[in-house]
Amino acid sequence: MDASIIAGDVPEKLYHEVLGATRVIEQQGPIPSHAVVFSKEFKDPPRSRTIQTITQLGAPEHRNLMRSFISSLFVGFKPTTAAEHLGALNNYLKLVGLKFTERL
């Protein structure tokens, strides 16, 4: 193998182990983190109440609820939109030409 990829969202120890044994020749980003995605059918008022509840998961006393099984690197959530958070990814997908295929 001549080259590989390491991302900046892995545990710190692993990141430094890899970078300590290799040499970086190129970087890519920004790469969007995970997101909370709502169905288009999910309307207010429960929609807004649910967003408020999820946002509270970022409080220090609640973070472990997320860290224990969804994301060990979780800190909190920030308000965003699909265009803002996924814009860079859309550009990458256009460049690569990867397509979603579905067979029925």
Partner 1 sequence: MNKTVHGIFRIMTLAAILNIGLTAAVSAQSKLVVAIQPTLSSDEMLKKAQPLAKFFKDGLGGNTDVQIYVPTSHAAVVESLRFGHAHLAFMSAWPAQLAVQLGGADVPLAEIRQVIHGNEKKDAPYYFSYWVVPKDSPYQNLQALKGKSVCFSSPISTSGYVGQGSRSQNIL
**Shortest spacing between CB 79 and partner 1, in angstroms:** 6
60 lies in the binding site for partner 1 (CB under 8 A): no
User: Cβ neighbours of residue 70 under 8 Å, at least 6 residues apart?
Assistant: 34
59 lies in the binding site for partner 1 (CB under 8 A): no
Footprint on residues 9-28 left by partner 1 (CB under 8 A) = 9, 12, 15, 18-19, 21-28
Spatial contact of 38 and 53, defined as CB atoms under 8 Å apart: no
**Local structure of 17: helix, strand or coil:** helix
Footprint on residues 74-93 left by partner 1 (CB under 8 A) = 74-82, 84-86, 88-93
